[in-house]
Chain A
């Protein structure tokens, strides 16, 4: 092949004849279009992808609402038609306290969260002539799932529609970044409905499962709302065992329970067992040990535990079982369930290494105790 006669103009279609001018237009036109309309084209492409996810979110929202209504109507025998009341629950919102002056905000958030819980519980109770605590907590949780999915859908749709209305491409970028995380959580919530309805334990229940087993042979007392505690013994140490009251679908109020027990029993060490979100690349159901209060949620319970432990100079150690958000809120996997024995062994090792005979150790199983008694 002869490359010496290579003509650059000919290669790019730039020549003297009409055809060459047309070829030049074909090169230049897209550049002009992308300079002036590039962002709009990107907006159309991005928003089409987001629209598909918003449609999925709408389906999840409708399905969870429908399943909740179906469950109440067909399993629980309500007084009247629950549809109107459930639809009004789904629209409830919470206004968080002003944080311009954050001093003293925790008791305000705590009050708000408890008021909301108490109110929802009363509203759910009002749907029935009679309902067991087990079913009440299940409906309460199902309602929270449906409300969360409704909120996800509303907020995503709002951002999407605002960006489209204002033809504002930068406005859709944060949504495009966040949507995979939102969808991961929404998928997990959607899948959680079935196991919740059946009263099956979820991955988050590993903490209550370990502590529940340690409580089996001893008598239990009430420690706080929906929370129980019991005394036990291990290698000369007194054990104070705390968990949410199972098999109800509740996390209890471990912060309040610890606040109530510590003035009476003065433990020398607190060990908390919880499920923790795994990082990408970490193995599911792997166990990790660490320091500090292992408890999720809005932060009020953790604040209480840290506060009372600091005042009484009690060290807090933690054992967590790593899992994804989906594993944490859907039916417990075999791998996670099988780790209960290993966690118990590690608790015993931790007790032996960090306390002496005659001392008191508090062990707190944190998580939703649905389907796990004690």
Chain B
């Protein structure tokens, strides 16, 4: 297996609270989509919005 084929990509979802601007990152879950409202912020009860979904390559 070549080096490039051994790379694993992990997908993450970035969440931002619209109120306190707190940013968190978690593993991608099926059904996530960018700009989706995923619930309430645990800190301030503001709306949590998905701001980014991206892949990180692990060698």
Contacts and interface: CB of A to CB of B under 8 A. Distances in A.
Interface of A: 195, 198-201, 209, 212-213, 216, 246-247, 330-334, 336-338, 340, 371-374
A372 B35 contact: yes
B11 A200 contact: yes
Contacts of B43: none
B30 interface: yes
B11 A371 contact: no
Contacts of A374: 35
Nearest to B5: A187
A372 B51 CA distance: 10
Contact of A333 (B30, B31, B35, B55): B55
The A contact surface, by secondary structure, is mixed
B33 A247 contact: yes
A331 B33 contact: no
Contact of B52 (A195, A199, A340): A340
Given A198-B30, A200-B11, A331-B11, A373 B53 contact: no
Given A198-B11, A198-B28, A200-B28, A334 B33 contact: no
Given A198-B30, A338-B52, A331 B35 contact: no
Contacts of B56: 334
B33 A371 contact: yes
B33 A337 contact: no
A246 B34 CA distance: 9
B22 interface: no
B55 A373 contact: no
A47 to B, nearest CB: 22
B9 interface: yes
A198 B28 CA distance: 10
A201 B53 contact: yes
B35 A332 contact: no
A332 B33 contact: no
Contacts of A195: 11, 55
Nearest to B28: A200
